[in-house]
Copies of this chain bind each other. A is one copy, B any other.
Amino acid sequence: MEKLTHTECTTQLLPIRDAIEVISGKWKLQIIVSISSGNSHFREIERSIPKLSSKVLAKELKDLEANRLVKRTVFESLPVSVEYTLLPHAESLQPVIDSLRHWGTLHRKEIMGA
């Protein structure tokens, strides 16, 4: 591969930066995995992820909504019930999640000295 100049590097890296910006941080992918496994209520999602606080979960869910990954539906029942589901766009993240999971396993072996 040729050495990249500043401009070429920017162009090549832009989609990677976009992706990292959306999924980075400790929680977003974990929340997506939790919802995709069937947790749809706030408390269910919260309970499924160790060390995740309500405050942070609320913020992360809003970010995920803004990025069209998660849909929040309010049911006018008594009491009102709120459900979170994944939008189709979140399903396109599956190859990213799979590749991260695979590499994370490799990395643990590498660092632990398997």
Chain A interface residues (CB < 8 Å from chain B): 1-6, 9-10, 12-26, 29-30, 33-34, 36-39, 44, 47-50, 67-68, 89, 92-93, 95-108, 110-111
Contact = CB atoms under 8 A, between A and B. Distances in A.
- The binding surface of chain A is classed by DSSP as helix
A89 B9 CA distance: 22
Given A3-B37, A48-B5, A93 B104 contact: no
Q: In the A-B complex, list the 6 residue pairs whose CB atoms are closest, starting with the nearest.
A: A15-B104, A19-B104, A3-B38, A18-B104, A19-B100, A4-B37
B89 A4 contact: no
A18 B106 CA distance: 10
Q: How many copies does the complex hold?
A: 2
A20 B50 CA distance: 16
Contacts of A36: 1
